[in-house]
Amino acid sequence: MSVEAEVLFELTEEITGVTKEEILSGSRKSYIVDARKIISMSLYQNTDLTLGRIAVVVGRTNHATTLYHTRQHDNIMETDRDFRRNYNSINSKLVEYKSGAIPVELRLTYAINERKKISREIGNLRRLLKMKNEDA
């Protein structure tokens, strides 16, 4: 997962209160869907990720939902004040992050989460190697 995606998950939780687990779930509750839309559109506008890759990042199986979110973005921004406020807050903080102006705490949180993921992956690989050696 890209650095921007991880930062967006952190920022979205901070601003909207929706956790990464909720965003990745299949929930169709409006506040969770809105958080998913914000992340999808931010990734679409601020990264080179394809629609399909963005869909995978936000827990969807194909690009159709992401495409729908991007097409509906302007309308939602005009009509939904809360969505607009959250989107603008998250997007401005992402720009700050990319410029290096994000607080050290957020950078450390990201680094710690990355380290945990790598440690889990190493543990999984060690278990697989052990099982393979036992079978041989």
* pTM given for the model: 0.71
Domain-by-domain residue ranges, the chain? 3-100, 103-136
Given a contact cutoff of 8 angstroms between Cβ atoms, the answer to whether 13 and 55 are in contact is no
Residue with tokens 């601020």: 46
Residue with tokens 């992956």: 121
Fold (topology level) of 3-100:
Chromosomal Replication Initiator Protein Dnaa; Chain: A; (1.10.1750)
**Mean pLDDT, the chain, whole residue set:** 87
- Cβ count within 10 A of residue 117: 12
Q: What is the largest CA-CA distance in the chain?
A: 63
Residue-wise pLDDT for 54-110, tens only, equals 999 998 888 998 999 888 988 999 999 999 999 999 998 888 877 776 667 766 777
